[in-house]
Amino acid sequence: MKPSGEPAASDRPGASSNTDPGRQAPLSPEETRRYARHLVLKGMGGVGQQKLKAAKVLIVGAGGLGSPAIAYLAAAGIGRLGIADPDTVSLSNLQRQIVHAGDDIGRNKAENAGRFVAALNPHVRLDLFPTLITPDNGAEILAPYDLVLDGTDNLATRRSVAAAAARLRRPLVSGAVSMFSGQVTIFAPHLGSPGHEALFPPEASDDALPSCEANGILGPVTGVIGALMAMEAIKLITGIGKPLIGRVLVYDGREGGFSELSY
């Protein structure tokens, strides 16, 4: 499948295989100024920023979780960013989906998020997928990317994304929110961690899970979890710190605390 407005996969540098984490992507003088706070950051520096520039990341869902993840990864200098979402912007989205605005109502979320990224950081190359990821197209869409972030709100799409990521041996950063709380983890079965079914078994259904439409969601909760998803992606790309592989970080907004679970 060809991204909206972008060259075919065969025309993309490195699109046929996963990223070599050690490759270098030289920074322009403007990028050096733009990422100055990263370049002086111990543990990140020029090497880390070059890894970000060389990285290819797919974000599935440009809503409450995808919005902050898109904003922070684009600002951080991810070299190639894919955004997939079949939905359109509605008025009720604007309480938490910060890459969209009132004038964007009715527009496709992936394409509209692409406009946000282009205005924020012109150094980010974009692939826009205004389509649903399914078992039929998941592997094709995910294949060019080094890692995937899933911020969708239904188990059918989550399972399609997780199955494709596992098949392609791509780390999957997964976030979820409800009411005043949220969680984030990384599924990476190829690295020895449990798979998606360890947290969401086959018998689980959307009917048994709380929905934002029925129970609501406090807007900043999506910001907290979406930002944590971006942080985990940056850690995976740069090798900084200890990623949440096989661990779930849970945020309780009402109590103002975090807890961690292993699975």
pLDDT at 75 over 70: yes
Q: Where are the domains of the chain?
A: 46-262
- 150 contacts 173 by C-beta, under 8 angstroms: yes
CATH of 46-262, one of 3.40.50.300, 3.40.1390.10, 2.70.98.10, 3.40.50.720: 3.40.50.720
Give the position of tokens 């938490």.
Answer: 96
Question: Residues near 248 by Cβ (< 8 Å), separated by ≥ 6?
Answer: 183, 184, 185, 199, 260, 261, 262, 263
Residue 26 scores a pLDDT above 60: yes
In the chain, DSSP assigns E strands to 56-60, 80-84, 125-129, 147-150, 172-178, 181-187, 247-252, 257-262
Is 50 exceeded by the pLDDT of residue 5?
A: no
User: What integer pLDDT is reported at residue 211 of this predicted model?
Assistant: 67
pLDDT of residue 14: 32
Q: Which helix (H) or strand (E) holds 66?
A: helix 66-76
Using 50, 70 and 90 to split pLDDT, how confident is the model at 84? very high
CA 230 and chain centroid, separation: 7
pLDDT tens by residue, 147-166? 999 999 999 999 999 999 99
**What percent of the chain has pLDDT above 90?**
81
The C-alpha atoms of residue 84 and residue 108 are separated, in whole angstroms, by 10
**Average pLDDT score over residue span 185-212:** 83
Is the predicted pLDDT of residue 218 greater than 70, yes or no? Answer: yes
Q: What pLDDT does residue 139 have?
A: 97
Which residues, in sequence order, are CB contacts of 197 under 8 Å at separation 6+? Answer: none
- The pLDDT, as a whole number, for residue 208 is 60
| Chain segment 32-46, per-residue pLDDT in tens | 999 999 999 999 999
Structure confidence by residue, pLDDT tens digits, 131-149:
999 999 999 999 999 999 9
pLDDT (tens digit per residue) in 55-70? 999 999 999 999 999 9
Q: What is the pTM of this model?
A: 0.89
Instruction: Render pLDDT for 244-261 as a digit per residue (tens, 0 to 9).
Output: 999 999 999 999 999 999
Selection from 204, 194, 210, 202 nearest residue 244 by Cα: 194
* C-alpha to C-alpha distance for 189 and 166, rounded to whole angstroms: 6
Number of Cβ within a 10 Å radius of residue 103: 9
H or E element: which one contains 38? helix 36-39
Place of tokens 């199955």: 163
Q: Assign 201 a pLDDT band (cuts: 50, 70, 90).
A: confident
* pLDDT exceeds 50 at position 220: yes
| Mean pLDDT of the 73-94 span | 98
Q: For 192-210, what is the mean pLDDT?
A: 79
Please report the pLDDT score of residue 9 as a whole number: 35
